C-alpha cells in the first residue's frame, strides 16, 4: 500500500476504535504462548456475526496449542 492509504486506514482505525491502541507492548511470552486479549477481535467477531475469530479473543502464535 502507498503511504497515503496506510495513513487513511490508520486514521480511520483510530477514529472508529478510540479505546484501542494501535501499537501494544507485550512480552515475548505473551506473543508466543500466553497470548494477549485483543478487544478489537471481539468487536470484529460481533460485526461478522460469529462468536469468536480468535480463541477467547486472545492472540498468541502458540496460544492454546497442545503438545499431545
Q: Residue 9: what pLDDT? A: 77
What is the separation, in whole angstroms, between the first and last Cα of the chain?
41
- pTM strictly above 0.85: no
User: Can you spell out the DSSP letters for 39-63?
Assistant: HHHHHHHHHHT-S-SSGGGEE-TTT
Domain assignments of the chain as residue spans, ordered by start: 19-68
Whether the per-residue pLDDT at 64 is higher than 90: the answer is no
Segment 26-46, tens digit of pLDDT: 899 999 988 888 887 887 888
22 pLDDT band, cuts 50/70/90, is low
DSSP state of 22: S
Amino acid at each position: 500500500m502507498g503511504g497515503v492509504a496506510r495513513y487513511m486506514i490508520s486514521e480511520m482505525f483510530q477514529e472508529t476504535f478510540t479505546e484501542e491502541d494501535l501499537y501494544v507492548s507485550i512480552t515475548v511470552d505473551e506473543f508466543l504462548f500466553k497470548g494477549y486479549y485483543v478487544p478489537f477481535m471481539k468487536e470484529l467477531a460481533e460485526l461478522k456475526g460469529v462468536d469468536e475469530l480468535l480463541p477467547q479473543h486472545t492472540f498468541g502464535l502458540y496460544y492454546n496449542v497442545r503438545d499431545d
